[in-house]
Structure 1
Amino acid sequence: MAKMNAAKKGSGPAAAVAAPAGAKKPAGSEISGPPVRPFWKKRLEDMTKGEWESLCDGCGRCCLVKLEDEDTGKIHFTNIVCRLFESQSCRCSDYPGRKAKVPDCIKLTPAQVREIKWLPPTCAYRLVDEGKDLYPWHHLISGSRETVHKAGVSVRGRAGPSEDDVPAGDEVDYIVQWPGKVPPPRKF
């Protein structure tokens, strides 16, 4: 199997976002007019850089090393993490400089969201592109970056070794199924 490195997505500061669903409006905000549509209802191509970066839910699933079966093309997730992955935060330790340190890191674009078949089913970029709603645990809905972890979606607590610590050829011993699945609902 050929090794595929992980794509790194937004870890920068979140852009200003609309209030989470169900949030109370401040007194005096009952101005008539069309409802404000959240930016994540736009097409991916129409998002600003800040909106794009803030769409990342911070789960870390895309930062797991994936293996491609050379005969079938099937992609297998492993729990091996990129050398720049920080397990506690589920973020890249050098997001701005990642391409220099990990040349095969993928800088996600709208076109790649449609092309890449290994994006997790919970990925906000994938969901937005498919016209689906974000999950309630997504920080743009919940208002907290911790809910992705509390909901059991993130890599936190499940990350395996760094890719630097796995001998070449042993990657198949770390294949896992959970990153390609939507976890059962949890209270967060």
Structure 2
Amino acid sequence: MTMSLPVSDEPPFWQTKTLEQMSPDEWESLCDGCGRCCLVKLQDEDTEAIAYTDIGCKLLDDFHCNCRDYANRQAQVPDCVRLTPETVRALDWLPPSCAYRLVEEGRDLYWWHPLVSGDRDSVHAAGVSVRSRVAALEDEVPLADFIDHLVRWPLRLPRGAARRSVARKVPSAQQR
């Protein structure tokens, strides 16, 4: 689906605002709909290292790459992390393509982000989303088998999608 992008000489909000300065609608629009953060992650008890799996959260719609019950997700999945500016800074497992992470780091969005492309499907066309890559949902796989589903691709970008984004004009919170 193609979105109408407003034509303006003003830079877009994600280039001029910090995460804290964004309106609720701007905040929500930063999500590119890749679904990578909705993949089950395992943490090593000894090293605390995080590893991604190709298993999706039980609420993940793995075709549209969004939550099937976003409004009630935390009631249904108690360990679902609600992103806030503070959690974005604290989480080390957000994918490198995550717009929240990019904005916090003072970087621009990638060309395939729906806010840049004007097309909600560009994230899928660029191969960045989890579409066709989720092996199962978490309630379909025995917990003991999760280890068999470790993958590295959520921490990488496909070649064509990795075209560098440019630096923003507003410093990140870390630089202030």
- TM-score after normalising by structure 1: 0.80
AA partner of residue 95 (structure 2): P
CA distance in 1: counterparts of 2:4 and 2:67, whole angstroms: 22
CA distance in 2: counterparts of 1:117 and 1:94, whole angstroms: 25
Displacement after TM superposition at 1:127 (Å): 0.3
- Number of aligned residue pairs: 158
The 5 A counterparts of 1:164-183 are 164-183=139-158
AA partner of residue 184 (structure 1): R
AA partner of residue 75 (structure 2): A
CA distance in 1: counterparts of 2:47 and 2:72, whole angstroms: 34
Match of residue 114, structure 1, among 82, 89, 92: 89
SS at match of 1:79: strand
Matched-pair contact (CA < 8 Å) for 2:40–2:52: yes
Query: Whose radius of gyration is greater, 1 or 2?
Result: 1
Matched-pair contact (CA < 8 Å) for 2:5–2:118: no
Matched-pair contact (CA < 8 Å) for 1:18–1:38: no
Match of residue 73, structure 1, among 40, 45, 48: 48
Displacement after TM superposition at 1:37 (Å): 2.3
CA distance in 2: counterparts of 1:52 and 1:102, whole angstroms: 22
Identity within the alignment, %: 56
The C-alpha deviation readout for 1:96-145, integer Å capped at 9, x for no partner, is 01111111101100011111000000000000000101000000000001
CA distance in 1: counterparts of 2:4 and 2:44, whole angstroms: 40
1:55 equivalent in structure 2: 30
AA partner of residue 100 (structure 1): A
The 5 A counterparts of 1:25-64 are 35-41=9-15, 42-64=17-39
Structure 2 residue runs of 5 or longer lacking an equivalent are 162-176
Match of residue 57, structure 2, among 77, 82, 97: 82
AA partner of residue 12 (structure 2): P
More helix by share: 2
Structure 1 residue runs of 5 or longer lacking an equivalent are 1-15, 20-24, 30-34
RMSD: 1.6
SS at match of 1:62: helix
CA distance in 2: counterparts of 1:138 and 1:96, whole angstroms: 23
SS at match of 2:26: helix
- TM-score after normalising by structure 2: 0.86
